[in-house]
């Protein structure tokens, strides 16, 4: 029997290879008058090119850093106010999209970005148009912004961060380097499996999560090794569908652990999620997960976990603390992971002692 569930995702989705060419028309469709485009340095030239071709783009901020900082948000807000922008367009990976989300909300507030980083509530945001260039974060369909001030990285949830629309154009992902392709692809897989096993899952998020996992497992290796148009397109779709699943069901243990792993061992987000992914598949294994493993074509959960290890190995991702930067403090990692709010969504209750055991096995 199907249990009761609630599902909503108000972001309009425009998907298709080459779809970005329709940007001016899609912006008009979304009622955008004037916008600031936000990207990182890799997309600076494309951002300027889009500004020339798109009457709605009034200014470009092209200095987003990975683990986006408040400084970039402040500059984006300044440009939005200066140009009277009613929208922000994010062209890039999760870092650019999260910068745009936070800036869109700060542009509607009298308080400073610092005050909001310290917890002041948001009440509204300008329109947000997300154009992802990695197949990973799903940020184009979530109400989450992950931003940093110095070393302090915060995940802020607020309905005002939900993008008005997203343009998912797989052509934009063709230039992602192989290792980043693998890391971001495993980020997307982690979103899907965590949405599936989250205590907040429902029938619809399960369907989305299974579809995402099926597509990602079938295309990640080719996307990494050959970068074909077909595999990249499938991965952009898989990442989007995983985003739709976890935007409602939320993530769980792997993501809870990823924050201290990124902070103390400087692992990029996707690599940090993948670091514990196979461990969590084994720890969370139950009848439901065994059924999922079989649906995905594996004999059991251990075979699925082994496939994750194989993918991490071909991508050269770090799998042991001995290969990571930073001083290892397992007690601190276990404590901070156990206390993270996302750990409450994990289907198996894992306390500090259980997490300590998991981290010890990864030395
Ligand atoms: P990113 O945006 O930090 O980009 C990583 C690198 O890849 C950068 O150097 C960038 O220039 C490069 N890059 C991006 N697209 C490229 C392309 N098409 N061609 C060549 N290079 C390209 O990476 P990401 O993994 O997309 O985002 C990670 C961030 O997103 C983290 O801060 C993470 O915490 C956050 N995140 C947010 C959500 C959410 O729902 N808001 C979900 C997951 C992760």
Asked if residue 87 lies in contact with residue 126, where contact means CB atoms within 8 angstroms, the answer is yes
Q: Looking at ligand 1, which residue's alpha carbon is closest to its atom 2?
A: 93
Is there a single domain that holds both residue 229 and residue 127? no
Q: Does some domain include residue 284? A: yes
In ligand 1, which atom is closest to the CA atom of 243? Answer: 40
pLDDT at 67: 87
For residue 351, the CA-to-ligand 1 centroid distance in Å is 31
> How far is Cα 303 from Cα 282, in angstroms, rounded to an integer?
10
Tens-place pLDDT, residues 138-185: 999 999 999 999 878 888 999 999 999 999 999 999 999 999 999 999
CATH number at residue 155: 3.40.50.1970
In a domain, residue 91? The reply is yes
**Inter-axis angle of helices 352-360 and 330-339, to 10 degrees?**
130
Does 30 lie in the same domain as 101?
A: yes
Question: Are the C-beta atoms of residues 33 and 86 closer than 8 Å to each other?
Answer: yes
Domain that holds residue 163: 12-173
Do 188 and 240 belong to one domain?
yes
Å from CA of 96 to ligand 1 middle = 7
Is 154 inside a domain boundary? yes
> Comparing 308 with 153, which gets the higher pLDDT?
308
Q: Return d(Cα 155, Cα 141) in angstroms, integer.
A: 15
In the three-class reduction of DSSP (H, G, I as helix; E, B as strand; rest coil), residue 17 is classed as: coil
Least confident range from 253-257, 263-267, 346-350: namely 263-267
* Predicted local distance difference test score (pLDDT) of residue 152: 84
For ligand 1, the distance from its centroid to the CA atom of residue 61, given in whole angstroms, is 16
| Residue 157 sits in the same domain as residue 293 | no
Ligand 1 is surrounded, with C-beta below 6 A, by 40, 42, 66-67, 92-96, 98, 133-134, 136-139, 142, 144-146, 172-173, 175-176, 180, 184, 269-270
Give percent above pLDDT 90 in the chain.
98
Asked whether residue 130 falls in the same domain as residue 241, the answer is no
Which numbered atom of ligand 1 lies nearest the CA of 95? 2
Q: Sheet containing 127-132: which strands, arranged edge to edge?
A: 12-15, 165-168, 127-132, 87-92, 35-40, 57-64
Ligand 1 mean position, distance from CA 137 (Å) = 7
* pLDDT at 302 (0 to 100): 98
User: Is the residue at 293 inside a domain?
Assistant: yes
Positive or negative, the CA dihedral 46, 49, 53, 58 is positive
258 lies in some domain? yes
Q: Write out pLDDT tens, residues 97-137.
A: 999 999 999 999 999 999 999 999 999 999 999 999 999 99
Q: What is the 3-state secondary structure (H, E, C) of 94-147?
A: HHHHHHHHHHHHHCCCCCCHHHHHCCCCCCCCCEEEEEECCCCCCHHHCCEEEE
Do the domain assignments include residue 3?
A: no
Instruction: Give pLDDT, residue 361.
Output: 98
Indicate which atom in ligand 1 lies nearest the CA of residue 142. 40
- pLDDT of res. 153: 85
Query: For residue 151, what pLDDT is reported?
Result: 78
Q: How many domains does the chain have?
A: 2
Q: Are residues 189 and 129 in the same domain?
A: no
Tokens coding 299:
């004999």
Specify whether 249 is located in the same domain as 287: yes
By the 8 A CB rule, do 74 and 64 touch? no
In this prediction, residue 303 has a pLDDT band, given cuts at 50, 70 and 90, of very high
């Amino acid at each position: 029997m199907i249990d009761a569930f609630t599902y909503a995702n108000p972001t309009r989705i425009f998907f298709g290879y080459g779809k970005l060419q329709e940007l001016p028309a899609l912006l008009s469709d979304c009622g955008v008058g004037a916008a600031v485009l936000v990207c990182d340095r890799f997309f600076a030239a494309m951002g300027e090119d889009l500004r020339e071709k798109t009457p709605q783009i009034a200014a470009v901020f092209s200095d987003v850093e990975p683990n986006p900082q408040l400084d970039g948000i402040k500059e984006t807000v300044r440009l939005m106010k200066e140009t009277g922008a009613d929208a922000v367009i994010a062209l890039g990976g999760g870092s650019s999209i999260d910068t745009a989300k936070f800036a869109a909300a700060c542009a509607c507030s009298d308080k400073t970005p610092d005050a909001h980083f310290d917890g002041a509530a948001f009440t509204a945001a300008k329109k947000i148009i997300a154009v992802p260039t990695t197949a990973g974060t799903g940020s184009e369909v979530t109400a989450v912004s992950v931003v940093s001030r110095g070393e302090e990285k915060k995940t802020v949830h607020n309905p005002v961060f939900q993008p008005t629309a997203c343009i998912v154009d797989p052509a934009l992902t063709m230039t992602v380097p192989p290792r980043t392709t693998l890391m971001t692809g495993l980020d997307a897989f982690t979103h899907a499996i965590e949405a599936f096993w989250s205590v907040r899952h429902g029938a619809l998020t399960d369907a989305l999560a299974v579809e995402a996992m099926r597509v990602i497992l079938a295309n990640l290796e080719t996307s990494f090794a050959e970068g074909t148009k077909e595999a990249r397109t499938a991965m952009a779709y898989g990442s989007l569908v995983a985003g739709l699943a976890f935007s409602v069901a939320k993530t769980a243990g792997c993501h809870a652990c990823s924050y201290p792993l990124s902070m103390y061992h400087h692992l990029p987000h996707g690599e940090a999620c993948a670091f514990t992914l196979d461990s969590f598949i084994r720890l969370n294994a139950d009848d439901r997960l065994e059924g999922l493993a079989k649906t995905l074509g594996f004999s059991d959960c251990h075979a699925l976990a082994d496939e994750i290890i194989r993918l991490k190995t071909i991508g050269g991702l770090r799998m042991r603390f001995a290969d990571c930067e930073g001083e290892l403090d397992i007690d601190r990692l276990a404590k901070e992971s156990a206390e993270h709010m996302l750990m409450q969504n994990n289907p198996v209750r894992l306390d500090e002692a259980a997490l300590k055991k998991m981290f010890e096995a990864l030395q």
